[in-house]
Structure 1
């Protein structure tokens, strides 16, 4: 039987593309397992699938000086031994990594066992985990053409983002029924990422009554962020959405989102006009800002940096998005269709 081990975690963006690939490979004769962290969101998301999940030690990869870095070096070393033990047990034909700090020990361990490693980098510039993993990879795929300049040309290829097929198969009618929404107002979906986004959450709720005059609102506000003080007709809050997401997105007319690559590529595939509010450089390495700029320059989205996020700027941006909805959709239709899912699946199969 053909075997593959997946890895990647730390955020939903490092897991959902893996789920898309797992769903495809489960249609065929593949034995699939997953290596992740002990408490990351990947454990929760992969736990919903019928595949073995192995937890390993993993340290956080920091770009700043901290005494925790010393401790984490030992965690990563232990993670390499943990991962090697799992890989020796599973004996996979190939390892697929989506990045995140938990993936580094797995990729290193796979290399020591001469197991081929396939990477996918979502963001415009490679994350630290993938920067460390690149030298051990057999093949590297990227979402953005611009990313290739940072990678070895002989093994890197730009293919777009692997989109979950089910995302493209949602029903707007089912989505509105699930939400209890009608057809008389557009649906605005707010997505702050799997952990939520405090400033976005706060400003939406501060202006909720005004926004509800124009929109029906779906608010994916992140774990622990549902607010009982803001229950309103036409306003639905969720920590995170699983199986209902395709139908909710099918019912969505506009989206306010962070700049995570996987999410914005899904909205691009669905032709949903988007307002991208990326994580700041204080909160991240600036990858979401670069992702947002590319989408804005291509006319797929508008971008508003969080430092400029005020009630006035929010309403201006929403109005601009509504006024230019058809133009944004036309630009998205011109985007080159990506078949990243099949491309990666074919690469995986070439190692079986």
Structure 2
């Protein structure tokens, strides 16, 4: 249906004729959960309108400053950060940062002259979105989580459309503005050939594969429990293991774990080929960030979700619960890891019927065309404006 709608939009001539020269400002930053969906949306828009011009806005000290240019997009920075829960120098600087970021946002918007602004969350979205509304520029929001971030909640009443990934988000946002599209997933994550993927990790077909994902920065709680249980998981449970621990933990874990002792362990700071890692995994243990949940759905990957307790609004727990209620995942609280981790992992990873049922439930939640649907909705709006 999305393809049909997109075809209808461009059927008169081309999208260029329908909407003119399109300039899009993308505001996103802080984490991959905000940045990668923004890139996926930009890619989808560019696929439908090759002459569209893009500018990303983020912050210099977060991942977007390095990631966005790698995907071929320009980025400018504003001076903004979050507010900490305790008294810090950063908190004392926040009023000055906010005023500065609003002035910077005004100058960027007046210079670039975007036709639309798409805010995908993170620190930069707030000032850019607020100034865009004041300048009369249509604002679109993309919310990745079940419980929306504070920036999107503040901007929601001013937005033209809000694209959500979880149905639960409608409790906190203006329902009449919501389009449930799912989360745009980075294009490089897709279903891969399992046999070839096993070869790439030098694994065999006959033993189950456990994938531990700590996210781009790593997850200390997962690293701690894996350090404690690695010998039992590898030797007693006879599992093949991919353990992504995060760059800042890698050297310390090499010293502590001594991975050369375990021939079926692949300890790595970062996984370049996530498609291959998902393809070999019988079971994934991971945090419950929105981007990760969407990838699991797209691949149809059974998972044990261990939500981070250190996120705003406990949104990872809410994300996890949405998947658990659908029968697609199991929820394991961080405080119960010491007592339950080994037994839950080893029982579930050998229960092929349960894994198959969870995989089917995951796939039923997937919205693999999320970025295309968002692009199509935006072009429908633009065409109606002209």
Taking structure 1 as the reference length, the TM-score comes to 0.91
Q: Structure 1 residues 200 and 88 mapped into 2: Cα distance closer, same or farther (>3 Å)?
A: same
Instruction: Look up the match of 1:305.
Output: 333
Q: Following the alignment from structure 2 to structure 1, what is the Cα–Cα distance between the partners of residues 83 and 159?
A: 19
Q: State the SS of the aligned residue for 2:94.
A: helix
Alpha-carbon distance in structure 2 between the residues aligned to 1:130 and 1:301: 27
Structure 1 SS opposite 2:382: coil
Kept in 1, the 8 Å contact 2:147–2:313? The answer is: no
- Please give the root-mean-square deviation of Cα atoms over the aligned residues, in Å: 2.1
Task: Point out where structure 1 has 5 or more consecutive residues left out of the alignment.
Answer: none
Query: Structure 1 CA distance, aligned partners of 2:181 and 2:356?
Result: 26
CA–CA separation in structure 1 for the residues paired with 2:199 and 2:266: 12
> Structure 1 residues 275, 119: closer, same or farther in 2, change over 3 A?
same
Distance (whole Å) between structure 2 residues aligned to residue 115 and residue 131 of structure 1: 18
Q: Partners of 1:251 and 1:49 in 2: how far apart? A: 27
Q: Within 5 Å, which residues of 2 pair with 1:1-352?
A: 1-27=21-47, 28-62=50-84, 68-213=90-235, 214-226=238-250, 227-229=253-255, 230=257, 231-232=259-260, 233-242=263-272, 244-280=273-309, 284-310=312-338, 312-322=339-349, 323=351, 324-335=354-365, 337=367, 339-349=369-379, 350-351=381-382
Structure 1 Cα separation of the partners of residues 153 and 337 of structure 2: 32
Report the CA distance between 1:163 and its aligned residue. 2.2
Name the larger-Rg structure.
Answer: 2
CA–CA distance in structure 1, aligned partners of residues 208 and 91 of structure 2: 48
Q: Which moved more, 1:211-220 or 1:330-339?
A: 330-339
| Matched position secondary structure for 2:247 | coil
> In structure 2, do the counterparts of structure 1 residues 177 and 3 end up closer, same or farther at CA, with 3 Å as the change threshold?
farther
Structure with higher helix content = 2
8 Å contact kept, 2:23–2:52: yes
Which stretch of structure 1 is more off in the superposition, 223-232 or 28-37? 223-232
Distance 1:46 1:173 in 2: 33
CA contact (8 A) 1:61 1:129 kept: no
How many angstroms does 1:179 deviate by? 2.6
Taking a change above 3 Å as real, the CA distance of residues 172 and 193 of structure 1, as seen in their structure-2 partners, is same
Q: Helix, strand or coil for the counterpart of 1:47?
A: helix
Is the 2:32–2:291 Cα contact (8 Å) retained in structure 1? no
- Cα distance change of structure 1 residues 63 and 137 upon mapping to structure 2, 3 Å threshold: farther
Distance 1:195 1:337, change over 3 A: closer
Alignment CA distance shift 1:241-1:103 (3 Å): farther
Deviation at 1:121, TM superposition (A): 1.1
Provide, for residues 250-284 of structure 1, a one-character-per-residue CA deviation record: whole Å limited to 9, x for no partner.
Answer: 2222111101122112102211110000012x554
Alpha-carbon shift at residue 170 of structure 1 (Å): 3.3
Question: Shift in Å at residue 87 of structure 1?
Answer: 2.0
* 1:37–1:195 distance in 2 versus 1, CA, 3 Å: same
- Per-residue CA deviations over 1:307-345 (Å, capped at 9, x if unaligned) read 1111x4111221343222122123234436553222211
Distance 1:241 1:23 in 2: 22
Q: CA deviation at 1:79?
A: 1.1
**TM-score of the superposed pair, with normalisation by structure 2:** 0.84
Residues 275, 321 of structure 1: 8 Å contact kept:
no
Distance (Å, rounded) in 2 between the aligned partners of 1:139 and 1:250? 35
| Distance change in 2, residues 1:22/1:172 (3 Å) | farther
